[in-house]
Structure 1
Amino acid sequence: MTSQQPYPPAAPYPAALPRNGLGTAGFVTGLIGLVFSPIPFIGVVAWPLVIVGLILSILGFARANKGGATNKGLALAGIIVSALGLVICIVWVAAFGKAVTDTANSLPAAPPVASLGAPAAGAPNGAAKHTVVYKVTGTGKAGTISYTNDGMTSSSTESNVKLPWQKSIELPDGQAFQLVSVIAQAGGSGSIHVSIEVDGKVIKEADASGYGVATANGDIGSFGH
């Protein structure tokens, strides 16, 4: 009787390859934006890169949380580098605006022209101000809402916000540059709409759905205010 030879052990299945194209794309795009963000003038191209990188990384991170993708850590790293690049971009814009304002303030003022029996032209009774209104509308809640509150680099963030949401701030008139910005992440269901109003006029709007991010920003002076 011939003895039966044992069958060789079955080869193990190869490990599943990581699946998180959105998270990977967001990390790469955000990293490139972060590299460009500190470079004067050239850094202007970093704005769309870090914003797109942040959106893709958040979407990849959300998919990984639901078990639909792997590489959750890479998506989280993409969120971090994209957010850091966005902060650097805002700081550079604020620094440039401050330099322009300081230069304008250092110029000698023209002497006022007074007329008989009337106060000097341009003598205000109180400092003029702009009223800025941030609005986020939609269904359900927004995951996070971040907005600038001083026209420069200072910002505030609110989480798990029930919609509709609104925030009003006042900024002084006459400055060469004043940044207004609002960023809102959708809560995963439905859609959201963000807008910025300055003195009753809508200057920027954006929309997002799912876990997307809606971003609206601009300079008050560039809109004729």
Structure 2
Amino acid sequence: MAGVALLACLGLVGYGMLDAGERPKPRAAPTAEVTYEVTGTGTAEISYLARSADGTATVEKDVTLPWRKSVRAPLGKAPTVAVLLDGKGGQAACTLAIRGRHVQRATAMGEFGRATCSGEVLSGGGEG
């Protein structure tokens, strides 16, 4: 009787080990393509949201304009690009496109001028 119980336990453990390999891998969060663009002349600090689970922004300093970046942004997050002109001033415009569709444009002017463009990434593009 003890031998039968031992074989049954070993069989269950073996099945559990085999079964572990058949479990589906966790899927990555669905995303959509987002294109950020800053036009103008001079240098600026640019911050933008990319594929980040914690929602932190990426900051690039002393960027020579014009600048463009395409990233994958998670659904349900608000992709945002912000531009801050340096002390020399000037003029710059940020634009945001989600899945190739223009969403917003804003302009920064003068010394330390600021502009922010944001949008919403909704499901429904078949991307991921």
RMSD across aligned positions (CA): 2.4
Residues 126-184 of structure 1 deviation map (CA, whole Å, 9 limit, x = unaligned): x9752111101101111x11111126512110111101111111135xx4x12201111
Please give the secondary structure, in 1, of the residue aligned with 2:51.
Answer: coil
2:37 and 2:69 in contact (8 A); partners too:
yes
Q: Give unmatched runs, 5+ long, in structure 2.
A: 1-28
Task: Check 1:156–1:131 CA distance in 2 against 1; reply closer, same or farther (3 A cut).
Answer: same
Q: How far apart, CA to CA, are the structure 2 residues paired with 1:186 and 1:171?
A: 25
Structure with bigger helix share is: 1
**Is 1:217 matched with 2:118?**
yes
TM-score w.r.t. the length of structure 2 is 0.64
5+ residue gaps, structure 1, are 1-126
SS class of match (1:219): coil
* Contact 2:80/2:116 (<8 A) preserved: yes
How many correspondences in the alignment?
A: 94
Written as runs of structure 1 = structure 2, the 5 A alignment for 1:49-68 is none
1:173-212 maps to which residues of 2 (within 5 A)?
A: 175=75, 177-187=76-86, 188-210=88-110, 211-212=112-113
Question: In the alignment, which residue of structure 1 is the partner of 2:26?
Answer: none
TM-score normalized by the length of structure 1: 0.38
1:141 alignment counterpart: 43
In the alignment, which of 3, 24, 34 is matched to residue 132 of structure 1? Answer: 34
Structure with a larger share of its residues in strand: 2
Secondary structure in 2 matching 1:221: coil
Instruction: Give the % identical residues.
Output: 34
Q: Aligned pair 1:166/2:83, yes or no?
A: no
Counterparts of 2:85 and 2:62 in 1: how far apart (Å)? 10
The superposition leaves residues 90-128 of structure 1 with CA deviations (integer Å, 9 ceiling, x where unpaired) of: xxxxxxxxxxxxxxxxxxxxxxxxxxxxxxxxxxxxx97
Structure possessing the higher relative contact order (Cα contacts under 8 Å, 6 or more residues apart): 2
Q: What is the SS of the residue equivalent to 2:122?
A: helix
